[in-house]
Amino acid sequence: MTEVKQGRGRVPQGLILGIESSCDETAAAVVRGGRETLSNVVASQIALHARFGGVVPELASREHLRAVVPVVEAAMAEAGVAFADLDAVAVTEGPGLPGALLVGVSYAKALAFGLGKPLIAVNHLEGHIHAVLLEVLAARADAQIPHKPTSGLYPPHEQGPVRGGPGNGAPGEPFEAGQTILALVVSGGHTHLYLAQEQNGAWHYRNVGRTVDDAAGEAFDKVAKLLGLGYPGGPWLDALAPFGDAGAVPFSFAQIKAKAHRRGEAGALDPKEATYFSFSGIKTAVLRYTQVHGMEERIAQRRAALAAMPGASPKRDLELVRALCDQETLDLIASFQRAVVEDLRRKTFQTAERFGAASVLVSGGVAANRELREHFTAEARAQGLPIAFPSLKLSTDNAAMIAAAAWPKLVTGKFADERLTADAALKLGV
């Protein structure tokens, strides 16, 4: 890809400013050539307090409105890039919350128009996929430096770091153009399976699976809450699960058969070959377990104890919180996590096999779950499939992934026009 760009000369550096405001986070990042992250700023992580009188969760468009200018300025300053140096402005057009999306889209349109730079629209889910590809490319570039270990990429059969620069990798190298990648995007808001493929510089996606009710991350957060561990408490479950017996409570997932869809309906999955997830039932099953086993009082005590320690984190305060959990609770947590991870693993790899995917990538907040990474990595090794996960910073919502996903669109000249607007229900792929 680099060679193609340099030959054209129209895009000297491939500097893209990405802006993301689809849900809770206002974020901006500058990425060069879809691979080199120069800055990656998320509003909740920078000190806006003093200037703006306290940070409210970036839930509402009003908060995005307050944050978007300082966040973009911070991203530009951190990257050491002037607006005039940019080759394009990229923004999340959907899916997400309409008002929140509109802030990013309006700002990006105005900025691109004012600068006379191209505007690129990116699907948020496509962004999550490119969060992983961005790091694969970066790791590959790093691997050209001898003895520098790669991160985020697990090549099959312990081959060691993947060699070769982007675009000049040997045929058959993981995540190369033309190969079918199966992507699992799994977070608090999404549980989707996509086939992704790069052809002639452009990426193509096909949706082959999704949840019919709750997202997997939502199940984690809600189970944490009903066990008195606060909300969102998914990371607590991940941290506490190793102390319980994952075989203690047998949870089962019903087979989901979706009804045939209306013919010709846009975005409809073919029920015969689609994969469906359902995480609403297991949440209810956990609730019922706590009721049947008389755990309510202990949960109330735990809830009160945790309320008295605001800002507690699984990294720092694990022993304190573990002490608040009896063995029955730890076993329940371990069993719940095992059941969800195994359901995701089984269905993801079945789907990979069904479509002959050459590699698997996992993205979104739940991709940070340790047991998920272990089980997916082991399964991928057993099947000889390369697998990749994003780093923690790129697993949750960020703008580097938006700028990275915009790069192939810049190369292939797929620009948005002045009619671009937020699309809250935007789907990815055919």
Partner 1 sequence: MSKNTETVTFSTQSAEETIAAGHKIAAKLRPPLLLILRGDLGAGKTTLVKGIAEAYGAAQADEVTSPTFTLLHEFLGTLDGTAGGAQVLLCHLDLYRVDDERQLAAIGLDEMPAPESIVLVEWGEKFAALMARCDGEIVVKSLGGDAREITLKLRGQA
Considering only residues 312-371, where is the footprint of partner 1 by CB under 8 A?
A: none
Would you say 16 or 306 has its CB closer to partner 1?
306
Alpha helices of 280-426 — where are they, by DSSP H? Answer: 280-292, 296-307, 318-323, 327-354, 370-383, 392-395, 400-411
Q: Is 273 left (phi over 0), alpha (psi -120 to 50) or beta?
A: alpha
Q: Does 8 bind partner 1 (CB under 8 A)?
A: no
Q: Does 293 bind partner 1 (CB under 8 A)?
A: no
* Three-state secondary-structure class, residue 343: helix
DSSP letter for each residue of 158-199: G--SPPS-TT-PPTT-TT-TT--EEEEEESSS-EEEEEEEEE
Would you say 9 or 250 has its CB closer to partner 1?
250
Smallest gap from residue 208 Cβ to partner 1 (A): 15
Measured CA to CA, the distance from residue 422 to residue 302 in angstroms comes to 42
Within 13 Å of residue 28, how many CA atoms lie on the same side as its CB? 23
Measured CA to CA, the distance from residue 241 to residue 316 in angstroms comes to 16
Would you say 284 or 350 has its CB closer to partner 1?
284
Smallest gap from residue 395 Cβ to partner 1 (A): 15
Residue 210 near residue 192 (C-beta atoms within 8 A): yes
Identified binder of partner 1 from the candidate list 32, 204, 206, 225, rule CB under 8 A: 225
Contact stretch for partner 1 (CB under 8 A) within 37-45, 61-69, 134-142, 337-345: 61-69
Q: Which residues contact 228 (CB under 8 A, 6 or more apart)?
A: 298, 299, 300, 301, 302, 303, 306
Smallest gap from residue 319 Cβ to partner 1 (A): 28
Contact stretch for partner 1 (CB under 8 A) within 109-117, 146-154, 213-221, 348-356: 213-221
Identified binder of partner 1 from the candidate list 14, 96, 127, 230, rule CB under 8 A: 96
Smallest gap from residue 251 Cβ to partner 1 (A): 14
Would you say 243 or 253 has its CB closer to partner 1?
253
Residue 181 near residue 357 (C-beta atoms within 8 A): yes
Smallest gap from residue 29 Cβ to partner 1 (A): 22
Q: Does 174 bind partner 1 (CB under 8 A)?
A: no
H helix or E strand, kind and range, residue 40:
strand 36-42
Measured CA to CA, the distance from residue 406 to residue 425 in angstroms comes to 20
φ, ψ at 143 (rounded to 5°): -65, -15
Q: Which residues contact 255 (CB under 8 A, 6 or more apart)?
A: none
Q: Is 229 exposed, middle or buried (0-12, 13-18, 19+ CB in 10 A)?
A: buried
Smallest gap from residue 284 Cβ to partner 1 (A): 3
Q: Which residues contact 335 (CB under 8 A, 6 or more apart)?
A: 244, 245, 246, 247, 248, 249, 250, 251
Identified binder of partner 1 from the candidate list 155, 217, 230, 244, rule CB under 8 A: 217
Identified binder of partner 1 from the candidate list 37, 40, 187, 359, rule CB under 8 A: 187
Total residues binding partner 1 (CB under 8 A): 40
Contact stretch for partner 1 (CB under 8 A) within 90-98, 244-252, 318-326, 350-358: 90-98
Residue 54: other Cβ atoms inside 10 A: 7
Within 13 Å of residue 367, how many CA atoms lie on the same side as its CB? 29
Considering only residues 395-424, where is the footprint of partner 1 by CB under 8 A?
A: 424
Q: Does 23 bind partner 1 (CB under 8 A)?
A: yes
Would you say 203 or 276 has its CB closer to partner 1?
276
Q: Does 429 bind partner 1 (CB under 8 A)?
A: no
Give 21's DSSP letter.
-
Measured CA to CA, the distance from residue 206 to residue 197 in angstroms comes to 9
Would you say 359 or 395 has its CB closer to partner 1?
395
Identified binder of partner 1 from the candidate list 127, 161, 166, 188, rule CB under 8 A: 188
Q: Does 382 bind partner 1 (CB under 8 A)?
A: no
- Kindly state the greatest CA–CA separation across the chain: 70
Smallest gap from residue 58 Cβ to partner 1 (A): 10
Contact stretch for partner 1 (CB under 8 A) within 148-156, 161-169, 187-195, 318-326: 187-195
Site map 234..273 versus partner 1, x via CB under 8 A: ----------------------x-xx-xx-----------
Chain contacts with partner 1 (rule: CB under 8 A): 23, 56-57, 59-63, 95-99, 187-189, 211-215, 217-218, 222, 225-226, 231, 256, 258-259, 261-262, 276, 280, 283-284, 287-288, 424-425
